[in-house]
Amino acid sequence: MARVKVKMYIVLNRKLAKGDFEFDVETVADALESLAAQYGQPFRDEVYDSKIVKNNYVLLLNGEPLEREGLDKIKMTDGDVMLLFPPVSGG
């Protein structure tokens, strides 16, 4: 297991759910499941579509974008930082 940091900025039930968390996990999917355990069904409903992260969310691992499929195969190592947030636009 790796000790990793997860930063999340999403809206659940019309309220901003944000925070920095630390989890002991093996894969990116495990980290997301740890967030789901923390926030429950509202998190699952907001973030997942058939167990795949919805397209309207950005998922980064150490600053690199991740594909939405196969997250259970991406191993994490100590000190990794994962971010989950909706895309931001502006101008």
Tell me what pLDDT residue 83 has: 95
pLDDT tens by residue, the chain, 91 residues:
999 999 988 877 677 677 899 999 999 999 999 999 988 898 898 899 888 999 888 999 999 999 988 999 999 999 999 999 887 766 6
Give the global pTM.
0.87
Which distant-in-sequence residues (6+ apart) come within 8 Å of 19 by Cβ? 7, 8
Domain ranges of the chain: 2-85
Tell me what pLDDT residue 11 has: 78
Q: Which among 63, 77, 88, 89 has a CA at the least distance from the CA of 28?
A: 77
Q: What is the CATH number of domain 2-85?
A: 3.10.20.30
